[in-house]
Amino acid sequence: MSDPLIPPRLRDDCFAMPQGVDWVPVATALARLREGLAPVNGTETLPLEEAAGRVLAKDCTARRSNPPAANSAVDGYGFAHAATGAGVQRLPLVAGRAAAGQPYAGAVPGGHAIRILTGAILPEGVDSVVLEEDCATDGATVAFDGPVKPRANTRKAGEDVVEGAVALAAGRRLRAPDLALLAALGIAEVEVCRPLRVGVLSTGDEIVAAPGMPAAPHQIYDANRPMLLALARAWGHSAVDLGHIRDDAGLLAAGFDRASAEVDVIVTSGGASAGDEDHVSQLLRDRGRLTSWRIAMKPGRPLALALWRGVPVFGLPGNPVAAFVCALIFARPALSLMAGSGWSVPQGFDVPAAFSKAKKAGRREYLRARLNADGAAEVFASEGSGRISGLAWADGLVELGDGAATIAPGATVRYYPFSAFGL
């Protein structure tokens, strides 16, 4: 009998492309990823106050209505609408008042009014309220101009959410306003997905693991690992630093073995192409299940997707600019789906260009960009994928479609702020 606590695993062929596919358009790659992936983490129940940032594993149903009873939306005077008409209305006041948390115990007779404060439950005999600023009173009688609309300045019971209704659906990552809603509906605890454990591993003999260490001229500091760990955390996942492993098949295999036992998905950078020194790709091909995708995009052509002992492996390009763009375009929606929060689609918008560019057909391009004071997109001075400073300079990406294009200043382009990617 299978263990019901083990979450579903990915199919061995989840990353396979149809035969004959060589260069993969971005849209095709995204669709294939979405089709092949599934949530891979378990669930747990948490008190509401500990659930911020977590993903709902099941629908949250209102345990009570909000508001639970009809109440006043303003400070004023309440009465039965049927007893009023056009012209100046003068209604005697009953003794006492209705306030939030201090309901009026009796009934208000027809043709009478009661002092009522914001949030107070409407007493029996009251269905409308007139704003106090529109009234005159001597303490015994209240006067106001009619006619008044029926149910004026009142809130119906359940006009926000009705008891038994689904308040928040499964897959939602809980924010502060969501916690307010759930608390108002009497929901004290929620079933949430366990955070997706995203392991980030750097490889390569040319990599120096930390910027504080000495580096020879032929070596470079590891820029990708801190960047990718920060992205995983920003997306609400549990980021696991798997460190750096040099180009040794035995060490890499042992590292993948350790990682597969402690994380839900492994993200690597570098070694994902088909060259002589692409050790990660070769290892995944020999001892795992590897599919190498050549994405028709710039930057970021190579993307290695594999399973190692049933754990998905995303092999991003080694160039930090390409790794960053591929992480936003491919890793973010994939990790979101595996975390239980569904496939995330960034929201872009059209803006005028503040640059010129002639683009050839065949690849989708992403340019490091930011909006100027006029709301137009300007792009980084160099498209060189080795210029990491362009990532720090930019606030978003301009996306140029797969076809040929000639962009002149003022032309409309699609701009995605980094916030559209959850940053």
Per-residue pLDDT tens digits for 93-134: 999 999 999 999 999 999 999 999 999 999 999 999 999 999
Going by C-beta distance under 8 Å and a sequence separation of 6 or more, which residues neighbour residue 76?
Answer: 116, 129, 130, 131, 132, 134, 135, 153
pLDDT on residue 359: 92
pLDDT tens digits along 189-202: 999 999 999 999 98
Same domain, 60 and 175: yes
Identity of the amino acid at 255: G
With 70 as the cut, is the pLDDT of residue 277 above it? Answer: no
pLDDT tens digits along 347-402: 999 999 999 999 999 999 999 999 999 999 999 988 877 788 999 999 999 999 99
- The answer to whether the beta carbons of residues 371 and 377 sit under 8 Å apart is yes
Residue 78 belongs to some domain of the structure: yes
- The answer to whether the beta carbons of residues 356 and 408 sit under 8 Å apart is yes
Going by C-beta distance under 8 Å and a sequence separation of 6 or more, which residues neighbour residue 308?
Answer: 256, 257, 259, 260, 266, 284, 287, 288
Residue 4 belongs to some domain of the structure: no
Same domain, 178 and 281: no
Q: Give the domain CATH number at 239.
A: 3.40.980.10
pLDDT on residue 2: 47
Identity of the amino acid at 162: V
pLDDT tens digits along 283-325: 887 777 777 778 899 998 788 888 888 899 998 988 899 999 9
Residue 245 belongs to some domain of the structure: yes
Among 155, 184, 210, where does a domain finish? Answer: 155
Residue 18 belongs to some domain of the structure: no
* Count of Cβ atoms closer than 10 Å to residue 70 Cβ: 16
Residue 8 belongs to some domain of the structure: no
| CA trace torsion 68, 70, 75, 78 (10° rounding) | -150
Q: Give the domain CATH number at 406.
A: 2.40.340.10
Among 142, 176, 193, where does a domain finish? Answer: 193
Q: Record the tokens describing residue 206, joined without a space.
A: 């040319």
- Which residues is 406 bridged to in the sheet? 358
Q: Where are the beta strands (DSSP E) in 170-235?
A: 189-193, 197-203, 207-208, 220-221
| Whole-number Å distance between alpha carbons of 228 and 234 | 10
With 50 as the cut, is the pLDDT of residue 62 above it? Answer: yes
| CA trace torsion 214, 218, 219, 223 (10° rounding) | 130
Q: Record the tokens describing residue 271, joined without a space.
A: 């070694």
Identify the CA nearest to 368 among candidates 296, 417, 403, 410. 417
Query: Mean pLDDT over residues 31-57, rounded?
Result: 92
Long-range contacts of 66-70 (CB under 8 A, 24+ apart): 66/158, 66/160, 66/161, 66/181, 66/184, 66/185, 67/155, 67/157, 67/158, 67/159, 67/160, 68/157, 68/158, 69/121, 69/122, 69/157, 70/121, 70/122, 70/127, 70/154, 70/155, 70/156, 70/157
Same domain, 219 and 243: yes
The label of the residue with tokens 């790794």 reads: 323
Residue 343 belongs to some domain of the structure: no
Phi first, then psi: what are they for 31, rounded to 5°? -65, -40
Same domain, 49 and 31: no
Residue 217 belongs to some domain of the structure: yes
Same domain, 82 and 174: no
Same domain, 405 and 314: no
- Which residues is 297 bridged to in the sheet? 364
Same domain, 383 and 258: no
Q: Which domain holds residue 115?
A: 71-155
Same domain, 38 and 48: no
Number of domains in the chain: 4
DSSP tally for the chain: helices H, then strands E: 8, 29
| Whole-number Å distance between alpha carbons of 297 and 314 | 17
Same domain, 271 and 241: yes
The label of the residue with tokens 């508001």 reads: 67
Phi first, then psi: what are they for 149, rounded to 5°? -65, 145
Same domain, 315 and 361: no
Q: Give the domain CATH number at 55.
A: 3.90.105.10
Identity of the amino acid at 179: L
pLDDT tens digits along 195-231: 999 999 988 777 766 777 776 777 767 789 999 999 9
Please tell me whether the peptide bond between 417 and the residue prior to it is cis, using omega within 30 degrees of 0: no
Same domain, 293 and 217: yes
Residue 1 belongs to some domain of the structure: no
Among 167, 193, 219, where does a domain finish? Answer: 193
Same domain, 248 and 307: yes
Specify the DSSP class assigned to residue 409.
T
- Which residues is 162 bridged to in the sheet? none
